[in-house]
Structure 1
Amino acid sequence: MSTSPSTADDGPSNARNAPHADASPKPARRATIRDVAAAAGVSTATVSKVFRGGYRLRPETEQRVRDAAEALNFSPNPYAQTLHGARTGTVGLITSDIEGRFSLPVMMGAEDAFGSDQVSVFLCDARGDAIREQHHLRSLLGRRVDGIIVVGSMTNPRETLGRDIPVPVVYAYAPSTHPDDVSVITDNVGAGRIAAEHLLSLGYSRIGYLSGDHTYLAARERVQGARSALQAAGTDILGGEALYGPWGEEWGRAGARRMTEMYPDMDALLCGSDHVARGALDALREDGVRVPEDLAVIGHDNWELLARQSRPPLSTIDNNLEALGRRAAELLNAAIDGSPQPGVHEVPALLVPRGSTLRAH
């Protein structure tokens, strides 16, 4: 689709520049949704809503769009569905989370909010490939979905799909970098704060932090939240900063041993993920350190298959992904209804206490 503005081909200057006076005039380019949006001073999404119908728009905005469309002799394209068409009752969910650890809970929450008997969800796996993601986007638009949820594979902000998509888009788990997009994420700063406050509430005071990859925003934000809680209680992370390393059990084992050597009187270890915490538990058990009697351990993510089978079962912070999915669906419904709520919306994390922090009484 062309993005250049519409121009006339029959003006006097074109006639003067024509190679032959009797040359046939070129056919005028068909006006596009971008042309109408530019002429009306609105977004392409607003133009799409006007012609799809069923949205609550300001009357003056709708009239301005229709006047611009009439002046440009614009006809809606297939993505705009029908001139006064009703909703299709379908939405798309594009994910790059191949394993489904994050996308499946988000989708379950979204389906709960949509209502399984009212809205169908098309799940597409982009596999972290931008070209594949665009292919799925075109396919979903071809199916005339009412809106799209995009689930990231990590919490770092991601590039927007674009501002000219004719249906609303909500970004979940990973926020869009564009401030006018609608995004919903877990409050990772709050998650770190909850983890530290849990340890403090149980009487632990010399708390180390073993984090994951520093390039992950979630890793840094969780540390930030934990430090704020500890400092509010008059203490801090041992050493004043977390130890960062690769996500995984191997780093958890190596990092835990390093931490116990550096801080032999440490009484609690806060880990940036359940994988890191699981590795730490294994190393501590092998070294004869009793958990939680000698040293408490808490993780993040609440990957239940791993956390419940740890020895002892792992206390952790749940990302509350089903609630995140429900919130994403609510925001998408609001946008479909013509009331988008741009910006980043946060869902609070949840504490899941288990045996790795709870001493027997």
Structure 2
Amino acid sequence: MSIDRQRAVTMRDIAERAGVSRTAVSFVLNDRRSVSLSDETRDRVLSVAAELGYRRNASAQALAHQRSDWYGLVTEIVTAPFAVEIIKGAQDRALTDGKYLLIASTESDAEAESAAIERFLEQRVEGIIYAATWHRAVTIPDIASEVPTVLVNCFDEEGRYPAVVPDERTGGRRATERLLAAGHRRIGFVNLDPGIPAAVGRRLGYHDALRDAGLDIDESLEISGHATADGGFTAVDALLDLPTPPTAIFCANDRMAMGAYDAIKERGLRIPHDVAVIGFDNQELIAAYLRPSLTTVALPFDEMGARGVDILAAITAGQSTDATRVTVDCPLLERSSV
């Protein structure tokens, strides 16, 4: 018998080639061990299935069992460096449980998000991960509540969904403590735009470390750099114009640290000998290639993706979980700027 390779191989094709009933083929391919079939029959069916290139109909099985071994992951821009790390962390952890990711890029468009989640539901995904490329509050389409959903690097204001976010405050404390440990007592802080979770948390951590060291909070040392290299340059230029300028600068992201480098070097000062600098985010194309290379606090994107899958797996398995908003540690990466 010749099988047309332009169409999918069916159980009927296997049954005819193996000389058994279609029911027997179904029992073998679905590993129904409770049914009495000889080992010879099972081996013959599996051999013919392999020979003909049979692939099980995952969609049909998902429909029958109401599960698919797939999770859906929604994010704004899948090519953004941080999104790639979240996806890798989530996919690696999912694979350890025999699960796979369907990934949708939505470009921050609410209609695209709803459409992507609707398509995921049609594919019978077991759960959804909604991931953001920067830490913030988000609005989740209502249809996401039809399956277990976990948020990564974001949260919903109402607290309807478990969320995994970076521990911004501890990261800010860790950066400031590193500068204090190096002997600095006048530490400038170049923050992000006010109000966003990263700006709030990193500033609180900066204050925590200063207070723990017995130092007063000096607001003249705090300035916004608006998250850009140009903003970092302008902010650090202003800090260095103070009557008593700082001897160290904590920049709340690596782009502003890059601008800080230029402002410091334009004055003929050396890093870290005259002014130490620490960044935040660990954007490797910046941090590792500045000269000197930048000491920075890393955002744990891959770990957040993995933790999101852990929580999703627990929920889909029917396990109780107290996860509401889980924080993940932000480690300090020591390089050469302190």
Q: Which amino acid aligns with 1:167?
A: V
Distance 1:324 1:255, change over 3 A: same
The CA RMSD measured in Å over matched residues stands at 2.1
Map of 1:320 onto structure 2: 300
Tell me if the contact between 2:172 and 2:202 (Cα under 8 Å) persists in the aligned partners: yes
Instruction: State which of 128, 152, 174 in structure 1 corresponds to 2:108.
Output: 128
Tell me which of 186, 191, 195 is aligned to 1:211: 191
Give the count of matched residue pairs: 278
SS in 1 for 2:73: strand
Q: Does the CA contact (< 8 Å) of 1:195 and 1:298 recur in 2?
A: yes
**Quick one: structure 1 residues 87 and 334, their matched pair in 2 at CA, closer, same or farther if it must change by over 3 Å?**
same
> Partner letter of residue 73 of structure 2?
L
Deviation at 1:318, TM superposition (A): 0.3
Task: Give 1:238 deviation, angstroms.
Answer: 3.8
Offset of 1:344 from its aligned partner? 0.5
The answer on whether the counterparts of 2:128 and 2:144 sit within 8 Å (CA) in structure 1 is no
* Cα distance, 1:245 vs structure 2: 3.4
Partner of 1:302: 282
For 1:82 and 1:97, locate their aligned partners in 2 and report how far apart those are by CA, in whole Å: 28
Question: Are the equivalent residues in 1 in contact too, given 2:187–2:249 (CA < 8 A)?
Answer: yes
When normalised by structure 2's length, the TM-score is 0.77
Q: Structure 2 unaligned runs (5+)?
A: 1-58
More deviation, 97-106/288-297? 97-106
Question: Could you tell me how far apart the structure 2 residues matched to 1:139 and 1:261 are?
Answer: 56
> Residue 173 in 1 paired to residue 153 in 2?
yes
Give the aligned partner of residue 25 of structure 2: none
Deviation at 1:288, TM superposition (A): 0.7
- Residue 231 of structure 1: aligned partner: 211
Aligned equivalent of 1:288, options 264, 268, 271: 268
Code of the residue aligned with 2:229 in structure 1: it is E
- Distance in 2, matches of 1:249 and 1:180, equals 37
Aligned-residue offset at 1:239:
2.8
Segments of structure 1 that go 5 or more residues without pairing to the other structure are: 1-78
**Structure 2 equivalent of residue 185 of structure 1:** 165
Q: 1:83 to 1:356 in 2, by over 3 A?
A: closer
Alpha-carbon displacement from aligned partner over 1:224-282 (angstroms, at most 9, x marks no partner): 11111111111145436621132110001111100100254411000010000011001
Give secondary structure in 2 for the equivalent of 1:180.
coil
Partner of 1:347 in structure 2? 328
Kindly indicate which of the two structures has a greater share of residues assigned to helix: 2
What one-letter code is carried by the residue in structure 1 that aligns with 2:306?
R
What does residue range 234-313 of structure 1 map to in structure 2 within 5 Å?
A: 234-239=214-219, 242-313=222-293
Aligned to 2:29: none
Amino acid at match of 1:291: I
Q: TM-score, normalised by structure 1?
A: 0.73
Which whole-Å deviations, capped at 9, do the CAs of 1:48-70 have from their partners, x for residues lacking one? xxxxxxxxxxxxxxxxxxxxxxx
Residue 182 of structure 1 contacts residue 343 of structure 1 at CA under 8 Å; is this kept in 2?
yes
Distance 1:346 1:185 in 2: 5
Q: Could you tell me how far apart the structure 1 residues matched to 2:234 and 2:298 are?
A: 25
Structure 1 206/288 Cα, relative in aligned 2: closer, same or farther at 3 Å?
same
More deviation, 266-275/235-244: 235-244
* Aligned partners of 1:301 and 1:318 also within 8 Å: yes
Match of residue 174 from structure 2: 194
Report the secondary structure of 1:174's partner residue.
strand
